[in-house]
Homo-oligomer: A and B are copies of this chain.
Amino acid sequence: MSILSAIPFTAVRLTDRFWAPKQRVNRERAIPANEEQCRKTGRIEAFKLQWKPGQPNQPHIFWDSDVAKWIEAASYSLHTHPDPALAARLETVIADIAASQQPDGYLNSHFTVVRPQERWKHFPDHELYCMGHMIEAGVAHHAATGSRSLLDVCIRLADCIDRDFGPKPGQRRGYCGHEEVELALVRLGRATGEQRYLDLARFMVDQRGAKPHYFDSLKPEEERGKEDYSYSQAHLPVRQQDRVVGHAVRAMYLYCAMTDVADERRDRGLERALGKLWDHTTGSLMYVTGGIGSSRHNEGFTFDRDLPNETAYCETCASVGLILWARRMHLRTGEAHYLDVLERSLYNAMLAGISLDGRKFFYENPLASLGGHHRQDWFGCSCCPPNISRLLASLGGYVASTGKGLLSLDLYAAGSFTAAVDGHEVGVAVTTDYPWDGRIALTLSPATPQIFRLRLRIPAWCVSWSVHVAGKVVKAKLVDGFAEIARTWSTGDRVELVLAMPAERIHADPRVRHDAGRVAIQRGPLLYCLEGCDNGADLDAVVLPDSARIAIKAQPRLLGSVITLHARGHREQPFAGGLYRTAAPAAKTVPLTFVPYYAWDNRKAGAMAVWVRCAR
């Protein structure tokens, strides 16, 4: 039922100076770092099933998923950049995974060696979740490399799940505490054409939160009915859910699955729930960086507009999840406002999750720091690093989409791709320095002259834009947030979009108490921040006057080449003695330097602030 289909990443070549270098770092540093850590920590070894009680390195309940996401990321990378040694190493690991599969298709290193008697009986936290990631890896590995080695394992695994879960007598009417397997089953169903997997995904989505509660059924009688399961979005049947609650990553993966299921068959109940959940998530609970989930306590959501900056959790995986969901919502509806959220999260909250050198990662992405928050090599629960890697490696898939008589440009990056519009191949070459510059030039190469509507996304941050065809300004209709030009396109046709991209002050709704009296600085899709190494400590003593002009400076040698922003601000001076007095603090004029938020904590450790005090 989706209006649009994404151009697959396999059809896209990015050559820009923003994403292409990040994909290279991902390929050369981050994916190898993921592999190295998976080996070093025993995650890969775990599939040999040689662990015995009492030994160290007990396979953890979520280990499989880290390996699976590494395989998924490495597979994408193999497609764009063949690497026989990596391909061979993947096959070796996959052979171990295949060998660890039980005769009935069950596949999970933790439950197989640590708690074999608890299969499907444990409060279902990461068991199906791990399987879901393995299935995604299997589909990706096959699509990227042509090898069926992991896909066939995953088909047997999915068949095992399909035998054990479902509505038939003797089957478990169940689903996983941590959503993921649902969207994976849809993906497998689409890749294999096997309707059973799609049906199983729908069953699990439908079953979620239904009474009698599946999670209760796994507990002793006396412990039932005591939890509301909102942490896992299982407090209500999904069609009755209209407010995002609980663990942020779980919520995003569920909503992805709900969107996928809604795509397969018209489902007004799901559509209505998805609309409300989207509005609630992005309209009441999203940081200006596109990060979501403000609380470390539940790794998730609290209450509307509760968006503390210093303690913002904003798990990198939650941003990845929001991006995955936003893309699905856009493809389903064709509406650009979903891409505004996608872009916000992609360029800011998500991208901050990886260091410029690709070797260190944020799990949490606060919007302010006193100087103690730094990227780490790896985490005990290390879901984020490989999640970033699989997103970066497949980023080409976010560039464009097609529909009936329609080619839609969704994310601007220099490069080229081939799109099938109404069954005819159209080559597109993109020249731009986005996100540093708002000029985007396209050269279209349809095999033969072809009529279709070209849609160019006009980001919500842009208030002034123009479209030029063959050097002449054209009047483009604004449709669903896209500038649309319908005409017959011929090879060599050149379209230029010019998006005005001034540095802007962003204000938050005054009910967001942590941002009251403050502004964030944004230019194009990029949020900026103050860092201690440029601006000193105690960034809450710094004020940016509303009248201060913000200057732009290209810095090719800073932070992997960025544009920095500069303004005259003032800094309130510390008191000479005592904490309190009646006289207002004295202030000194100071130069302020803003750097892109995604690039923070790549130099000397220090304070950081996105929201800066403003003054009339």
Using a CB–CB cutoff of 8 Å, the interface residues on chain A facing chain B are: 283-284, 286, 288, 305, 307, 463, 504-514, 516-517, 520, 538-541, 543, 546, 571-575, 577-585, 613, 615-616
Min CB distance A22 to B, Å, is 25
For A514, the chain B residues whose CB sits under 8 A away are: 540
Whether A615 pairs with B613 at a CB distance below 8 angstroms is no
Whether B505 pairs with A517 at a CB distance below 8 angstroms is no
Apart from A507-B583, A509-B579, A517-B543: 10 A-B pairs, beta carbons within 8 A: A307-B579, A504-B582, A509-B574, A510-B538, A510-B541, A511-B574, A513-B538, A514-B540, A517-B615, A520-B580
Residue among B520, B572, B575, B616 making CB contact with A616, cutoff 8 Å: B616
Whether A510 pairs with B574 at a CB distance below 8 angstroms is yes
- The list of the 7 closest CB pairs from A to B, nearest first, reads A510-B572, A510-B541, A513-B540, A516-B540, A509-B575, A510-B585, A511-B538
For A513, the chain B residues whose CB sits under 8 A away are: 538-541
Q: How many copies of the chain does the oligomer comprise?
A: 2
Residue of A509, A520, A538 most packed against chain B (CB within 10 A): A509
Whether A284 pairs with B579 at a CB distance below 8 angstroms is yes
For A541, the chain B residues whose CB sits under 8 A away are: 510-511, 513, 516
For A582, the chain B residues whose CB sits under 8 A away are: 463, 504-507
User: Given A508-B579, A516-B613, A578-B283, does the pair A584, B546 have CB atoms closer than 8 Å?
Assistant: yes
Residue of B nearest to A581 (CB): B507
Instruction: Report how far A561 CA is from B507 CA in the complex, Å.
Output: 41
Residue of A307, A504, A583, A584 most packed against chain B (CB within 10 A): A584
Min CB distance A142 to B, Å, is 41
For A615, the chain B residues whose CB sits under 8 A away are: 517, 615-616
Instruction: Report how far A528 CA is from B284 CA in the complex, Å.
Output: 31
For A516, the chain B residues whose CB sits under 8 A away are: 540-541, 572, 613
Instruction: Report how far A44 CA is from B257 CA in the complex, Å.
Output: 59
Residue of B nearest to A537 (CB): B511
Interchain Cβ contacts under 8 Å between A and B, 16 examples? A283-B577, A283-B578, A286-B579, A504-B582, A507-B581, A507-B584, A509-B578, A510-B571, A510-B575, A510-B585, A512-B579, A513-B538, A516-B540, A516-B541, A516-B572, A520-B580
Residue of B nearest to A584 (CB): B507
Residue of A283, A520, A571 most packed against chain B (CB within 10 A): A283
Instruction: Report how far A581 CA is from B307 CA in the complex, Å.
Output: 16
Residue of B nearest to A572 (CB): B510
Min CB distance A514 to B, Å, is 8
Residue of B nearest to A587 (CB): B510
Residue among B288, B577, B580 making CB contact with A288, cutoff 8 Å: B580
Instruction: Report how far A200 CA is from B579 CA in the complex, Å.
Output: 37
Instruction: Report how far A583 CA is from B504 CA in the complex, Å.
Output: 10
Residue of A307, A516, A520 most packed against chain B (CB within 10 A): A516
Min CB distance A537 to B, Å, is 8
Min CB distance A422 to B, Å, is 36
Whether B543 pairs with A305 at a CB distance below 8 angstroms is no
